[in-house]
């Protein structure tokens, strides 16, 4: 039985929505464990007490330090203490990152954890990372993101020998900024199935299994993708409902529109992994619905069942050992 700690107080829609999602995710394999105040209506789920709450607008590091008994920090601590194997929160992303680093801590050899987001596409899902854990990154970070993304693609998306690409401004190796030029060299020299650069235009077309980028570009990209899809569908509805003919057509295409929305719905995945920790953490959207929460808990369960953390430790650990033997340290 896999136990998943769920931060009941995270998310814009309030604890009832989170509890409902956790209840929906309960199965023969997965037991959600709520973390929140004693008075919470748990709908029969187990509760770990945590009296405090971290708000969406609080400063991440301050909040985590001054509120050790907040639902978010206690949920992360539950993973450290072995009371749960993974944590899910739809709360403040920055605070989640800080709490995970403090309580769950990084895997040995991991320079920086990365947020791995699943991007839906007609040709099958792909994973984009880092989607925003680190605003600034170095070439070696991007190499590690690629290694971690490969494990994610293998274990969660079920792909063999996943194709890795670097997000850049042209497919040629000499196109990019200094960061991507240097990262390109490292990736090309690695044992990964690295097939070169990819451009933003191919992201929704499933141009690669794993798309690697720094957290700034990744976060801009992700928000742009979500915003463009939403704005475009809204603009389309507006044009359609502007005429009687369009409104009739709109009624007829409603099932098609629903299928498209489902294909692109971020709730289908429910959340993003924070990869590179000594335990599994899933960050859900702030405005997660009950369905999104349930899928985030299932995603966490799948990660535990496939031992993503162990595979990451092995993969990144191997690299650490390799580089330890292949590099002679230079005294400075």
Residues found near a second copy in the complex (CB under 8 A): 122, 132, 135-136, 167-169, 175-178, 180, 199-205, 214-217, 219-233, 235-236, 238-240, 242-243, 245-246, 248-257, 259-260, 263-264
Identify which of residues 203 and 284 has a Cβ nearer to a second copy in the complex: 203
Cα–Cα distance for residue pair 331/202, rounded to 1 Å: 44
Smallest gap, in angstroms, from Cβ of residue 59 to a second copy? 8
Identify which of residues 139 and 200 has a Cβ nearer to a second copy in the complex: 200
Identify which of residues 160 and 201 has a Cβ nearer to a second copy in the complex: 201
Smallest gap, in angstroms, from Cβ of residue 147 to a second copy? 22
Smallest gap, in angstroms, from Cβ of residue 131 to a second copy? 10
Smallest gap, in angstroms, from Cβ of residue 150 to a second copy? 22
Identify which of residues 135 and 324 has a Cβ nearer to a second copy in the complex: 135
Identify which of residues 13 and 59 has a Cβ nearer to a second copy in the complex: 59
Identify which of residues 68 and 250 has a Cβ nearer to a second copy in the complex: 250
Cα–Cα distance for residue pair 329/331, rounded to 1 Å: 6
Smallest gap, in angstroms, from Cβ of residue 52 to a second copy? 23
């Amino acid at each position: 039985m896999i136990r998943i700690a769920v931060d009941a107080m995270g998310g814009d829609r309030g604890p009832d929505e989170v509890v409902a999602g956790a209840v929906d995710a309960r199965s023969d394999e997965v037991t959600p464990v709520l973390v929140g105040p004693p008075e919470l209506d748990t709908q029969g789920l187990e509760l770990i007490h945590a009296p405090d709450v971290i708000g969406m607008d609080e400063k991440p590091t301050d909040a985590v330090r001054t509120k050790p008994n907040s639902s978010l920090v206690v949920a992360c601590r539950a993973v450290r203490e072995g009371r749960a194997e993974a944590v899910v929160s739809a709360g403040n992303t920055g605070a989640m990152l800080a709490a995970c680093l403090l309580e769950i801590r990084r895997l040995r050899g991991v320079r920086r954890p990365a947020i791995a987001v699943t991007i839906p596409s007609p040709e099958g899902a792909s994973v984009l990372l880092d989607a925003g854990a680190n605003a600034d990154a170095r070439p070696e970070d991007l190499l590690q993101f690629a290694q971690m993304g490969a494990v994610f693609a293998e274990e969660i998306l079920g792909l063999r020998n996943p194709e890795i690409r670097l997000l850049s401004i042209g497919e040629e190796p000499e196109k990019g900024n200094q960061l991507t030029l240097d990262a390109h060299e490292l990736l090309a020299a690695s044992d990964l199935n690295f097939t070169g650069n990819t451009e933003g235009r191919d992201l929704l077309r499933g141009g690669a299994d794993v798309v690697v980028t720094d957290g700034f570009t990744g976060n801009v990209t992700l928000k742009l993708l979500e915003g463009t899809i939403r704005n475009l569908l809204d603009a389309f509805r507006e044009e359609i409902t502007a005429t009687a003919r369009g409104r009739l057509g709109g009624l007829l295409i409603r099932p098609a529109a629903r299928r498209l929305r489902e294909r692109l719905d971020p709730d289908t995945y429910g959340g993003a992994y924070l990869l590179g920790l000594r335990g599994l953490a899933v960050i859900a959207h702030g405005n997660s619905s009950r369905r999104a929460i349930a899928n985030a808990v299932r995603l966490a369960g799948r990660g535990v069942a496939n031992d993503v953390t162990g595979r990451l430790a092995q993969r990144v650990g191997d690299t650490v050992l390799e580089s330890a033997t292949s590099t002679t340290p230079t005294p400075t």
